[in-house]
Amino acid sequence: MSDAARPERIARLRAALAERIVVLDGAMGTLIQSKHLKAADFGGAELEGCNEHLVFTRPELIRDIHRAYFEAGADVTETDTFGGTPLVLGEYGLASEARAINARAAELAREAAVEAEAGDGRPRWVAGSIGPTTRAISVTGGVAFEELVETFAIQAEGLLVGGVDYLLIETSQDTRNVKAALLGCERAFAVAGERVPVAVSGTIEAMGTMLAGQSVEAFATAVEHAPLLYIGLNCATGPEFMTDHIRSLAAMTRFPVACVPNAGLPDENGRYLETPHMLSRVLRRFCQEGWLNVVGGCCGTTPEHVRELARAVQGIAPRKADPPVRSRLSGVDYLEVGEDVRPVIVGERTNVIGSRKFKELVVAGAWEEASEIARAQVKRGAQVIDVCLANPDREEREDLRRFLEVVVKKVRVPLMIDSTDAACIALALTYCQGKAIINSVNLEDGEERFEKVVPLARQLGAALVVGCIDETGMAVSRERKLAVAERSFELLTGKYGIRPEDIYFDPLVFPAASGDVQYTGSAVETIEGVRLVKQRFPTCRTVLGISNVSFGLPPAGREVLNSVFLYHCTLAGLDVALVNAEKLERYASLPEEERTLAEDLLYHRLPDPVTPFAAHFREARPPRQKVAELPLDERLAERVVEGTREGLLPDLDLALATRTPLEVINGPLMRGMDEVGRLFAANELIVAEVLQSAEVMKAAVTYLEPKMDRASGATRGKVVLATVKGDVHDIGKNLVEIILANNGFRVVNLGIKVPPEQLVQAVKEHRPDILGLSGLLVKSAHQMVTTAEDLSRAGVDVPMLVGGAALSRNFVDRSIAPLLGDGGLRPGRDERARPGQAHRRPAPARRPGGGAAGAAGGAPGRGRCPPGPGGRGPGALARGPGAGTHPGRAGLGAPRAGHHAARRDLALHQSGDALRPPPGREGLARPGAGNAGRDGAGRDRGGQEGAGGEGRGGPAQGLPPPGADAPAGGVPVLPGRLGGKHPRPPRRDGRGGGGALRLPAPAA
Ligand code: B12
């Protein structure tokens, strides 16, 4: 191939991707395996199993495989180089031949492509296959990041020399490996003096994540910095199982999308059983849905699969990418920094400058304990962790390395890399599986810092905190903050190629009460600066280090000022806040007087607002009205609102003297939860505080559960329950579980964030009589529609019960029920329950001094969601005689004793008319008469032990961190697939074998 031809070929490939669905070839490894080669074919016993060496020893066989795929209708063939890095070839003593092997492999594929093109005049392309190597750096370790970069660079060099049209980083199990491969490709381009496009393909295992733990969203976010030819998924499972991952990927990425499945999941003998027809039927549907630009086959697929596939997708228009612009971050978990999650909380305690405890642990080299601080912050609601190891007395880089090695195994949330040293930032980014935020860059020394740091964000993938500082110093006034932001924006998006949604402006916080005159009145400038910057750059985000505002004040006053400042910044549009969420006073609980003192200071309302503020907090604060003095029900609600367990259990006992446990839950406790929701929507509580309230609610339910009536004999039927994908709310679902279990149902609780394919599997495994879905977010209502579609397509014919705050009867009837077959949502005897009984639960009486949204001086509370018509309708089971402790509510009542077949007994119930947010609520009803007796009705923890179920097992159980269904902080390490891609025959000497990742023993 002449050099001049390659750019032209690449241009044609790009054009083809926009015009039609491009077809990749099928498996290389399994096809080689099917030839039953002998040791001699590989070049001797020492090389047996080294598929890549066949390009020297059996070139005609490899060329024939390419030919066969082209002849079957493939547009692209992949080189026989899956294990072609020196790292993998080294296991056969072939490391030094890596360049030559890759070059030869590319030549063979090119020869076949040229031949095929000459035959029928259709263009053909060659993808240089780059496998994941035998080490996944986050999982197996045993390799340094730089070593990976170098090994991938050598492979890419060979592939370029041999004439590939693009490089395909495939079967990716660990995004740190992918990042190393992307850097390796860049290194190879520099050597070759020529670039080709790069595509990335990840592998989502049957458990729903990559081997190193990331979901498809977290993975796509982690590589979105690279200008990819396409992004896709390959290997692991058959196509059906990939449905949700591909749909999610297609919904979010700006790149073309590929789906390259195995011919099904291999059976116990390693055979792939999906026929060409089965595979192509599913992929055709994906194309018709508008999800794909590229299709192909992985392990187990043959030229026959490709032939049918090419035919099946012919004429279908490719996906047109039009994803919404979103600010995305990821660690192992994915985080979208959008309007509905404001303010995202960044834990600031893993910072040697801000936390003495952390600093001391670092000095002592107590890395485990130091990283426990990060974990504790996540557990208490931090959604990002700030990491700063810049102790001037120590070697920052080394400390950072030691700390990151431990912390990335403990926390799943994205990291904020807080350093002024570019080398430290670069190092830190190599430890992040996902997309971190760099804190920070600014124009203090002109563009110097942009020049040093911004390229790192572009090479390794990160968002940027951009401080409002320029050559003249830190911007104090709102106008200067905006001016610096405008200049930074122009430079970053224009000259440096940063996307607006990856810019997090920091309008800067100054001590409002330090006595330094230059900062007098600076707090209101920051608040208004946030507002101006957000108005000017709505696609960008804003971030503030909150605690600085109160520097120099008495400790009690600091936490109050921080809290009031955060509240006003959030109203002004703040997206991300660095705070110590554990210490923050709850804004909602502050006495009016303290709010006013704080607001006077922040808004600089008096000639001297500092003195009265400091005096108030220097003296002993006047006691607030004691919760203990409130009437019993208000007390219970208040403990939920305050997030405190103090006195909770004795109060529950008191309440039980006159009411059933369910009445206590549906009454004061739910009123407390509703008030939490209201305050949350009004920005008066932050997510960390809501978590504390949720823990109190859970503790109360745990305490009350054993005291509930139970039906005898768990024979009414089996229910599989789950909170839908993307949603972590589980209190309601767990309550439903208790009610059902107490009424004679066996419940399999799959946990939170359960994707459709896991539900399909659970239905197959558990064969339930009812499938119960819970979801509280508006997007969860839509997720239920998607889930119902997938269930119906998978032939699941189980009645479905749905519930949660954002659902309405109307939505369910119109959008979900029609998707299910006859066995689906059916009106049952509970049709008697009136639809549309919207009910708004009154908020508990506020304490004197406990202000409402929009308190003095503040703007009116800005809800996270537009006010709905009021009223909400959680799903209800068949409404028993005693249903509804609150008049006008369809209750989750007990099925009547004597009704046996769950399918007949239960039906879905929703009320209300529109898809809308809370706050009205339907209640739980007490078990119907005749259900007394305690038999400890069976409840299964997940049925997928260790994977999906968040479990309520046992009293005072911990809360899963937001976004994590796995045990807090831990990154799951799961067993690898047997065989891997392109499996190799066993080696006689038992060594090596390559191809599959070597993994530690499955975690217990
Ligand atoms: C506690 C809570 C949290 C806790 C959840 C802890 C946990 N382990 O569940 C935490 C702090 C983690 C949280 C996180 C978030 N939350 Co939240 N959260 C709430 C809150 C305050 C209470 C929910 C609750 O537990 N209620 C008590 C239970 C018992 O009631 P329930 O869940 O409604 O269940 C009843 C019925 O709905 C029904 N039901 C429920 N499921 C099912 C299933 C079946 C089969 C049946 C039959 C019935 C049924 O029966 C139950 C008993 O009556 C609500 C506000 C509210 N008042 O609902 C907001 C709320 C749901 N959250 C909200 C938001 C925005 C979020 C976040 C996005 C915020 C953020 N900054 O990150 C994240 C979302 C994370 C995610 N991906 O899911 C919004 C949703 C708005 C929207 N438009 O979508 C709400 C409405 C708050 C608000 N007003 O802004 N949240």
What gap in Å lies between CA 479 and CA 471, rounded to an integer?
16
What pLDDT score was predicted for residue 797? Answer: 87
Contact (Cβ atoms closer than 8 angstroms) between residue 136 and residue 177: yes
Which atom of ligand 1 is least distant from the CA of 694?
Answer: 1
Test site for ligand 1: of 333, 676, 729, 864, most ligand atoms within 8 A of the Cβ: 729
CB atoms within 10 A of CB 194: 12
Listed range (144-153, 348-357, 842-851) with the worst mean pLDDT? 842-851
Distances (CA, A) of 930 to 657, 710, 880: 21, 10, 11
Contact (Cβ atoms closer than 8 angstroms) between residue 413 and residue 330: no
**Tens of pLDDT along 418-448?**
999 999 999 999 999 999 999 999 999 999 9
Kindly indicate the confidence band of residue 260, based on its pLDDT and cuts at 50, 70 and 90. very high
For 319-347, what is the mean pLDDT?
95
At residue 511, does pLDDT exceed 60? yes
Kindly indicate the confidence band of residue 372, based on its pLDDT and cuts at 50, 70 and 90. very high
What pLDDT score was predicted for residue 821? Answer: 62
Which atom of ligand 1 is least distant from the CA of 772?
Answer: 45
What is the share, in percent, of the chain residues with pLDDT greater than 70?
80
> Whose CA is closest to 808, among 771, 782, 770?
782
Kindly indicate the confidence band of residue 712, based on its pLDDT and cuts at 50, 70 and 90. confident
Contact (Cβ atoms closer than 8 angstroms) between residue 797 and residue 825: no
For 456-474, what is the mean pLDDT?
97
Query: For residue 848, is the peptide bond before it cis, meaning its omega torsion is within 30 degrees of 0?
Result: no
> Whose CA is closest to 798, among 766, 823, 819, 825?
823
CB atoms within 10 A of CB 715: 13
What pLDDT score was predicted for residue 117? Answer: 95
What gap in Å lies between CA 63 and CA 77, rounded to an integer?
10
**Tens of pLDDT along 200-229?**
999 999 889 999 999 999 999 999 999 999
Check if 726 has its Cβ closer than 6 Å to any atom of ligand 1. Answer: yes
At residue 174, does pLDDT exceed 90? yes
Check if 677 has its Cβ closer than 6 Å to any atom of ligand 1. Answer: yes
How are beta strands 436-441 and 462-467 bridged, if at all? parallel
- 3 state SS for 738-772: HHHHHCCEEEEECCCCECHHHHHHHHHHHCCCEEE
**How many alpha carbons lie under 13 Å from residue 742 in its C-beta half-sphere?**
28
What pLDDT score was predicted for residue 830? Answer: 33
Check if 676 has its Cβ closer than 6 Å to any atom of ligand 1. Answer: yes
What gap in Å lies between CA 631 and CA 646, rounded to an integer?
16
What is the share, in percent, of the chain residues with pLDDT greater than 90?
72
The residues pairing with 470 across neighbouring beta strands, listed in sequence order, are 473
**Residue 317 C-alpha to ligand 1 middle, in angstroms?**
40
At residue 876, does pLDDT exceed 60? no
Rg (CA), the chain: 30
What gap in Å lies between CA 51 and CA 59, rounded to an integer?
11
Which atom of ligand 1 is least distant from the CA of 383?
Answer: 72
- Tell which phi-psi region holds residue 976, choosing left (phi > 0), alpha (psi between -120 and 50) or beta: beta
What pLDDT score was predicted for residue 783? Answer: 95
Query: Atom 82 (ligand 1): residue with closest C-alpha?
Result: 777
Would you list the DSSP string of 616-665?
HHHSPPPPPPPGGGS-HHHHHHHHHHHT--TTHHHHHHHHHTTS-HHHHI
Kindly indicate the confidence band of residue 909, based on its pLDDT and cuts at 50, 70 and 90. very low
Kindly indicate the confidence band of residue 871, based on its pLDDT and cuts at 50, 70 and 90. very low
Check if 778 has its Cβ closer than 6 Å to any atom of ligand 1. Answer: yes
Bigger pLDDT: 995 vs 203: 203
Check if 830 has its Cβ closer than 6 Å to any atom of ligand 1. Answer: no
**Residue 932 C-alpha to ligand 1 middle, in angstroms?**
30
What pLDDT score was predicted for residue 914? Answer: 24
Which atom of ligand 1 is least distant from the CA of 687?
Answer: 11
| Residues recognised as catalytic | 727, 729, 780
Strands (E) across 689-842 are located at: 717-723, 745-749, 770-774, 800-803
Kindly indicate the confidence band of residue 547, based on its pLDDT and cuts at 50, 70 and 90. very high
Q: Which phi and psi (to 5°) does residue 886 adopt?
A: -115, 130
Q: Which phi and psi (to 5°) does residue 624 adopt?
A: -80, 165
Six-digit token string for 23: 């077809």
Kindly indicate the confidence band of residue 956, based on its pLDDT and cuts at 50, 70 and 90. very low
Six-digit token string for 14: 């790009």
Kindly indicate the confidence band of residue 50, based on its pLDDT and cuts at 50, 70 and 90. very high
Check if 800 has its Cβ closer than 6 Å to any atom of ligand 1. Answer: no
Distances (CA, A) of 42 to 36, 55, 67, 711: 11, 9, 21, 68
Check if 728 has its Cβ closer than 6 Å to any atom of ligand 1. Answer: yes
Contact (Cβ atoms closer than 8 angstroms) between residue 1004 and residue 139: no
Look at residue 463 and give its three-state secondary structure. Answer: strand
Test site for ligand 1: of 340, 720, 728, 776, most ligand atoms within 8 A of the Cβ: 776
What pLDDT score was predicted for residue 441? Answer: 97
What gap in Å lies between CA 418 and CA 229, rounded to an integer?
32
What pLDDT score was predicted for residue 925? Answer: 29
Q: Which phi and psi (to 5°) does residue 739 adopt?
A: -60, -45
Contact (Cβ atoms closer than 8 angstroms) between residue 73 and residue 310: yes
Contact (Cβ atoms closer than 8 angstroms) between residue 112 and residue 77: yes
- In 665-682, which positions are buried (b, 16+ CB within 10 angstroms) versus exposed (e)? bbbbbbbbbbbbbbbbbb
At residue 962, does pLDDT exceed 80? no
At residue 374, does pLDDT exceed 70? yes
How are beta strands 770-774 and 800-803 bridged, if at all? parallel
Test site for ligand 1: of 641, 680, 718, most ligand atoms within 8 A of the Cβ: 680
Check if 340 has its Cβ closer than 6 Å to any atom of ligand 1. Answer: yes
Tokens 């924006």 locate to: 489
Burial of 555 (0-12, 13-18, 19+ CB in 10 A): exposed
At residue 13, does pLDDT exceed 90? yes
For 182-198, what is the mean pLDDT?
98
Six-digit token string for 784: 């239920």
**Tens of pLDDT along 654-679?**
999 999 999 999 999 999 999 999 99
What's the whole-number average pLDDT of the chain? Answer: 83
What pLDDT score was predicted for residue 329? Answer: 98
Check if 777 has its Cβ closer than 6 Å to any atom of ligand 1. Answer: yes
What pLDDT score was predicted for residue 757? Answer: 92
Which atom of ligand 1 is least distant from the CA of 959?
Answer: 8
Query: Atom 80 (ligand 1): residue with closest C-alpha?
Result: 777
What gap in Å lies between CA 936 and CA 788, rounded to an integer?
31
Looking at residue 524, its amino acid is V
Q: What is the largest CA-CA distance in the chain?
A: 92
What pLDDT score was predicted for residue 968? Answer: 26
For 12-40, what is the mean pLDDT?
94
Kindly indicate the confidence band of residue 567, based on its pLDDT and cuts at 50, 70 and 90. very high
What pLDDT score was predicted for residue 714? Answer: 57
What pLDDT score was predicted for residue 775? Answer: 96
Kindly indicate the confidence band of residue 713, based on its pLDDT and cuts at 50, 70 and 90. low
Which atom of ligand 1 is least distant from the CA of 918?
Answer: 86
At residue 763, does pLDDT exceed 80? yes
**Tens of pLDDT along 268-316?**
887 899 999 999 999 999 999 999 999 999 999 999 999 999 999 999 9
Check if 736 has its Cβ closer than 6 Å to any atom of ligand 1. Answer: yes
Contact (Cβ atoms closer than 8 angstroms) between residue 970 and residue 410: yes
What pLDDT score was predicted for residue 336? Answer: 97
- In 145-183, which positions are buried (b, 16+ CB within 10 angstroms) versus exposed (e)? bebbbbbbbbbbbbbbbbbbbbbbbbbbbbbbbbbbbbb
Check if 919 has its Cβ closer than 6 Å to any atom of ligand 1. Answer: yes
Contact (Cβ atoms closer than 8 angstroms) between residue 172 and residue 141: no
Query: Atom 9 (ligand 1): residue with closest C-alpha?
Result: 729
What pLDDT score was predicted for residue 594? Answer: 95
Report the alpha-carbon angle 581-585-589, nearest 5.
130
Query: Atom 34 (ligand 1): residue with closest C-alpha?
Result: 732
222: enclosing H helix or E strand: helix 216-222
Check if 738 has its Cβ closer than 6 Å to any atom of ligand 1. Answer: no
Report the alpha-carbon angle 88-94-100, nearest 5.
100
Bigger pLDDT: 581 vs 325: 325
At residue 998, does pLDDT exceed 70? no
Cα 483 → chain centroid: 35
What gap in Å lies between CA 470 and CA 449, rounded to an integer?
11
Kindly indicate the confidence band of residue 861, based on its pLDDT and cuts at 50, 70 and 90. very low
Contact (Cβ atoms closer than 8 angstroms) between residue 703 and residue 955: yes
What gap in Å lies between CA 1003 and CA 333, rounded to an integer?
19
**Residue 446 C-alpha to ligand 1 middle, in angstroms?**
46
Tokens 């009704």 locate to: 899
Query: Atom 18 (ligand 1): residue with closest C-alpha?
Result: 677
Listed range (540-544, 971-975, 982-986) with the worst mean pLDDT? 971-975
What gap in Å lies between CA 529 and CA 519, rounded to an integer?
14
Check if 60 has its Cβ closer than 6 Å to any atom of ligand 1. Answer: no
Query: Atom 59 (ligand 1): residue with closest C-alpha?
Result: 677
Which atom of ligand 1 is least distant from the CA of 341?
Answer: 71
Check if 640 has its Cβ closer than 6 Å to any atom of ligand 1. Answer: no
- 3 state SS for 369-411: HHHHHHHHHHHCCCCEEEEECCCCCCCHHHHHHHHHHHHHHHC
**Residue 776 C-alpha to ligand 1 middle, in angstroms?**
5
Test site for ligand 1: of 329, 690, 801, most ligand atoms within 8 A of the Cβ: 690
CB atoms within 10 A of CB 591: 18
For 832-849, what is the mean pLDDT?
28
Bigger pLDDT: 898 vs 671: 671
Bigger pLDDT: 341 vs 541: 541
Which atom of ligand 1 is least distant from the CA of 917?
Answer: 83
Tokens 């030869």 locate to: 104
**Residue 958 C-alpha to ligand 1 middle, in angstroms?**
17
At residue 990, does pLDDT exceed 50? no
For 578-595, what is the mean pLDDT?
90
Check if 727 has its Cβ closer than 6 Å to any atom of ligand 1. Answer: yes
The DSSP symbol for 795 reads: T
Look at residue 544 and give its three-state secondary structure. Answer: strand
Contact (Cβ atoms closer than 8 angstroms) between residue 282 and residue 312: no
Query: Atom 5 (ligand 1): residue with closest C-alpha?
Result: 729
- In 366-392, which positions are buried (b, 16+ CB within 10 angstroms) versus exposed (e)? ebeebbbbbbbbbbbbbbbbbbbbbee
Cβ-proximal residues to 462 (8 Å cutoff; 6+ apart), any chain = 225, 417, 429, 432, 435, 436, 437, 438, 456, 502
Distances (CA, A) of 93 to 53, 55, 820, 982: 11, 16, 58, 20
**Tens of pLDDT along 68-114?**
999 999 999 999 999 999 999 999 999 999 999 999 999 999 999 99
